[in-house]
């Protein structure tokens, strides 16, 4: 036998080795993705935790939580001055952005465009690959809007009623959420801790609302048809975009609020489960009587995320918990109100 001669691998042996490697990769990739999502979900929860600290910092200074959205006495809903996220900027190391924001001007005024076009990292969930900066030129709302706006992947809890969400005075107290509209000279500034009779630890404050997620489709509020090109978006500086009587241009729908039911205290209450897909579009039709007779009817989209099985939520006491989509609807509705009188267990 010649020295240095070695036996070569056969074709079958090579194929077996390749097959084993392929199986190992197939087992490893899902595990890596699971670890990555677990880390993203943890970071998302930490973002909400920081928002909770900021929310209580604001309450400590002003003796009430910030309003969900503030507008002038006669302003349309899209013509407001600031959102709760705007008020929380100084407590989130967003002083630079806050200092150039003029609270006496509309959010889209020329003087505020530098601020509202800024992306705030803590407002973004790492599980969502949606745009950090929203392109507003595609909404067809006219030249008054800034070309872009900083996005947020979190929504303020408006409670168990999406009807008349633009007028808190007509929403029964028992279905109101911790954040509502403040119309100057008409409604109060914000909710005080002593008003949260359901308990801070069982009251939702904010939650996931993946902005612009391509995998979450939207049902057209006028026709009921599912539009795969429609998206739900939020900008931290804006309550929503434009009048919606005929739907948004290009089928984009936006609000900094989310609800657990559309028509609270009715039977059935019109539950809005988290991670509904296709989602309910955020829309309103001026209906001051509460009869929801407009087309489309008043509605606000629900909480939603790209986390597996549920959403992260910030509670009124500053704690952050993950709620699963399997939660009982009545419990979910009860958690979203601050003075509903429901008995909600841990």
Asked whether the predicted pLDDT for residue 332 surpasses 50, the reply is: yes
Most confident of 23-32, 232-241, 242-251, 314-323: 314-323
Beta strands in 87-167 (DSSP E): 133-135, 148-150, 154-157
- CA-based torsion, 35, 39, 41, 45: positive or negative: positive
| pLDDT value of position 187 | 74
In three-state secondary structure terms, 159 is strand
Indicate the DSSP class of residue 59: H
Spatial separation of the C-alpha atoms in residues 316 and 186, rounded to whole Å: 25
- 336 vs 214, which has greater pLDDT? 336
Q: List, for residues 182-228, the tens digit of each pLDDT value.
A: 877 777 789 999 999 999 999 999 999 999 898 998 887 777 788 77
For 305, half-sphere exposure in the C-beta direction (CA atoms, 13 angstrom radius) is 25
Spatial separation of the C-alpha atoms in residues 84 and 70, rounded to whole Å: 8
pTM of the model: 0.86
Asked whether the predicted pLDDT for residue 248 surpasses 50, the reply is: no
| pLDDT value of position 58 | 97
Span 167-181, mean pLDDT?
A: 87
Long-range contacts of 127-130 (CB under 8 A, 24+ apart): 127/37, 127/40, 127/41, 127/44, 127/210, 127/305, 127/306, 127/307, 128/153, 128/210, 128/211, 128/212, 128/213, 128/305, 128/306, 129/213, 129/214, 130/210, 130/211, 130/212, 130/213, 130/214, 130/233
Asked whether the predicted pLDDT for residue 50 surpasses 90, the reply is: yes
Cβ–Cβ under 8 Å, residues 226 and 217: yes
Closest CA to 281 of 264, 298, 293: 298
Spatial separation of the C-alpha atoms in residues 138 and 146, rounded to whole Å: 11
In three-state secondary structure terms, 17 is helix
Count CB atoms within 10 A of the CB of residue 166: 25
Closest CA to 296 of 217, 220, 241, 234: 220
H or E stretch at 54 = helix 11-62
51 to each of 47, 94, 154, 278, how far by Cα in Å? 6, 12, 10, 28
Asked whether the predicted pLDDT for residue 252 surpasses 90, the reply is: no
Q: Which two tokens stand for residue 240?
A: 């929503």
Q: Which two tokens stand for residue 302?
A: 């629900």
């Amino acid at each position: 036998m010649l020295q240095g001669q070695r036996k070569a691998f056969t074709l079958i042996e090579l194929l077996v080795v390749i097959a084993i490697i392929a199986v190992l990769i197939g087992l490893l990739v899902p595990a890596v993705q699971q670890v990555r999502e677990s880390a993203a979900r943890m970071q998302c929860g930490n973002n909400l935790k920081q928002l909770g600290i900021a929310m209580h910092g604001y309450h400590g200074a002003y003796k009430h939580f910030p309003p969900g959205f503030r507008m002038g006495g006669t302003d349309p809903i899209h013509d407001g001055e600031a959102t709760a996220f705007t008020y929380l900027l100084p407590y989130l190391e967003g002083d630079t952005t806050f200092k150039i924001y003029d609270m006496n001007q509309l959010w889209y005024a020329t003087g505020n465009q530098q601020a509202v076009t800024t992306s705030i990292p803590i407002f973004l969930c790492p599980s969502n690959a949606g745009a950090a900066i929203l392109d507003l030129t595609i909404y067809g709302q006219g030249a008054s809007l800034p070309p872009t706006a900083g996005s947020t992947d979190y929504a303020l809890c408006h409670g168990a009623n999406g009807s008349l969400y633009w007028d808190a005075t007509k929403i029964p107290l028992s279905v109101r959420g911790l954040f509502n509209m403040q119309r100057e000279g008409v409604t109060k500034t914000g909710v005080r801790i002593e008003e949260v009779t359901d308990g801070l630890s069982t009251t939702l404050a904010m939650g996931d609302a993946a902005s612009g997620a391509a995998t979450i489709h939207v049902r057209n509020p006028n026709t009921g048809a599912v539009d795969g090109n429609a998206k739900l978006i939020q900008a931290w500086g804006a309550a929503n975009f434009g009048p919606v009587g005929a739907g948004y241009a290009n089928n984009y729908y936006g609000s900094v609020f989310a609800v657990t039911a559309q028509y609270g205290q009715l039977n059935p209450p019109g539950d809005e489960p988290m991670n509904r897909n296709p989602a309910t579009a955020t829309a309103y039709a001026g209906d001051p009587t509460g009869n929801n007779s407009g087309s489309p009817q008043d509605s606000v989209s629900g909480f939603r995320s790209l986390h597996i099985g549920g959403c992260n939520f910030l509670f009124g006491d500053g704690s952050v918990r993950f709620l699963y989509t399997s939660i009982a609807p009545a419990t979910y509705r009860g958690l979203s109100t601050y003075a509903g009188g429901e008995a909600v267990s841990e």
